[in-house]
């Protein structure tokens, strides 16, 4: 079933989201109109003053994908996954830096050093990291305007609620608590891509394995742990990894390298978690937190699938959940284009002209359109993001790229807002 539908009254005040079937009846009876397509919102033609049920907005921040869920009581009524563009921003900045350096070296014999007279404000984040915070805040602000949200819950990766509730907990009592092993195991699952380090098998039960066997002095440090399927774990036994992989030098080299490699994605999340937490508190809503281990504990206990939006629904202390939707809204950050006056080739030299005016026949690149082609070789209906051309012959990115669609067949269903959407 799809997400519940957001509802606004005649004064654009948020009401409780409703079942898609009820929204369809309201639209068919003329009691409501479509306000926006992504996310789907309807607006009533009357004013509503009834009290609304409180909703909790839950967030599972990620390096590449952030999960969002709306929970009303014990019901999960809306889910979304935001795909960030941090790597694209990083690549663009690196490209700009190389082009600038090349230009300065060509045109200036000596450039005075300026790296000592530049300061960064406290709490500064790299643009690719700041983007993750700002994108998440953008959608939090949008959802607050669309639903009667009364509280926010965020996963703070390194928090362990068991120790927060009892600061004096230690020793065996802490090690054998309800979250025993969940924090470490979740870290290893991310580090080793949820597959066996030795054979690469996925979608099977994985066991925590000591790279340097404990029987021969190996420690329990995280750098000495990996994940292995039961077959490989039994086969390796107490052998040294060099002996076990004596005929598989490439796998041995990869495992030893990966064991010492820090988690890049985890580092990105840890760099932004407090910035996001502090920005969420400024919204004025009460903000609660939960650890990654507690999230996984809740998800495993409730027997839910491993997805970002369901992880978000499991953030914090919960007793039970009833998932009323199984199709989250997939949101991908695409940006608002570039201010370049001309496009360059891979060497940085101008290669083609960029039109000054971004609108062509009322369309601009990034609009989501519906094209109903009635003649020619491309008869059919296409829905997707459009890339405009001055000639009026557009490209539409649907399930695949369709080129050469005339603007005459296109109609806008969602104006460009820096994101692409899929159900």
Tens-place pLDDT, residues 342-395? 888 877 788 888 888 889 999 999 999 999 999 888 899 999 999 998 899 999
**Band of pLDDT at residue 134, cut at 50, 70 and 90:** very high
Answer whether residue 81 is part of any domain: no
Distance CA 265, CA 419 (A): 22
Token pair in block for residue 259: 């064991």
Place of tokens 């039970």: 320
State residue 151's pLDDT score.
Answer: 95
Q: Which of 243, 264, 285 is the last residue of a domain?
A: 264
Answer whether residue 354 is part of any domain: yes
pTM, 2 dp: 0.78
Number of domains in the chain: 3
- Parallel, antiparallel, or unpaired: how do β-strands 342-344 and 350-353 relate? antiparallel
Answer whether residue 207 is part of any domain: yes
Distance CA 75, CA 78 (A): 9
Answer whether residue 87 is part of any domain: no
> Could you tell me which residue, 202 or 185, shows the higher pLDDT?
202
State residue 40's pLDDT score.
Answer: 95
**Band of pLDDT at residue 193, cut at 50, 70 and 90:** confident
Answer whether residue 151 is part of any domain: no
**pLDDT at residue 61 tops 60:** yes
Answer whether residue 205 is part of any domain: yes
State residue 164's pLDDT score.
Answer: 40
Mean pLDDT of all residues in 396-423: 91
Answer whether residue 384 is part of any domain: yes
**Band of pLDDT at residue 249, cut at 50, 70 and 90:** confident
State residue 313's pLDDT score.
Answer: 95
Answer whether residue 255 is part of any domain: yes
Q: Residue 245: give the domain boundaries.
A: 175-264
Tell me how far the alpha carbon of residue 188 is from its chain's centroid: 20
Mean pLDDT rounded to a whole number for the chain: 86
**pLDDT at residue 269 tops 90:** no
**Band of pLDDT at residue 1, cut at 50, 70 and 90:** low
Q: Which of 264, 282, 307 is the last residue of a domain?
A: 264
Token pair in block for residue 344: 């360059």
Best CA proximity match to 361, nearest among 401, 420, 404, 406: 406
**Band of pLDDT at residue 263, cut at 50, 70 and 90:** low
Distance CA 365, CA 385 (A): 7
């Amino acid at each position: 079933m799809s997400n519940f539908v957001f509802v606004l009254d005649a004064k654009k005040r948020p009401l409780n989201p409703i079942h898609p079937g009820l929204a369809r009846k309201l639209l068919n009876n003329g009691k409501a109109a479509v306000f926006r397509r992504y996310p789907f919102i309807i607006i009533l033609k009357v004013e509503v003053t009834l009290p609304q049920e409180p909703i909790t907005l839950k967030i599972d921040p990620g390096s590449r994908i952030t999960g969002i869920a709306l929970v009303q009581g014990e019901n999960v009524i809306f889910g979304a996954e935001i795909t960030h563009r941090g790597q694209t921003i990083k690549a663009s900045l690196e490209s700009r830096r190389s082009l600038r350096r090349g230009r300065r070296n060509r045109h200036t014999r000596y450039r005075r050093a300026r790296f000592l007279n530049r300061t960064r404000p406290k709490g500064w984040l790299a643009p690719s990291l700041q983007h993750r915070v700002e994108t998440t805040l953008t959608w939090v602000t949008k959802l607050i305007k669309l639903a009667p949200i009364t509280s926010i819950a965020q996963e703070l990766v390194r928090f362990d609620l068991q120790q927060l509730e009892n600061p004096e907990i230690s020793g065996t009592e802490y090690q054998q608590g309800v979250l025993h092993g969940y924090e470490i195991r979740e870290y290893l699952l991310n580090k080793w891509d949820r597959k066996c380090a030795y054979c690469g098998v996925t979608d099977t039960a994985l066991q925590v394995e000591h790279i340097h066997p404990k029987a021969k002095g190996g420690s329990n440090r995280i750098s000495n742990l990996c994940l292995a399927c039961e077959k490989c774990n039994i086969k390796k036994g107490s052998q040294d990894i060099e002996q076990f992989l004596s005929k598989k030098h490439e796998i041995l080299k990869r495992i030893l390298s990966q064991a010492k490699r820090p988690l890049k994605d985890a580092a990105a999340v840890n760099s932004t978690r407090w910035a996001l937490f502090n920005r969420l508190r400024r919204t004025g809503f009460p903000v609660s937190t939960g650890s990654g281990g507690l999230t996984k504990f809740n998800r495993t206990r409730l027997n839910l699938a491993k997805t970002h939006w369901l992880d978000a629904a499991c953030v914090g202390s919960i007793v039970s959940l009833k998932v009323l939707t199984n199709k989250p809204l997939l949101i991908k950050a695409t940006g608002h284009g570039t201010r370049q006056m001309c496009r360059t080739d891979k060497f940085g030299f101008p290669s083609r002209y960029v039109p000054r005016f971004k609108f062509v026949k009322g369309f601009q690149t990034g609009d989501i359109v519906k094209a109903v082609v009635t003649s020619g070789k491309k008869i059919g209906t296409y829905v997707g993001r459009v890339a405009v051309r001055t000639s009026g012959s557009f490209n539409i990115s649907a399930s695949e790229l369709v080129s050469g669609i005339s603007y005459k067949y296109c109609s806008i269903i969602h104006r460009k807002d820096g994101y692409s959407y899929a159900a």
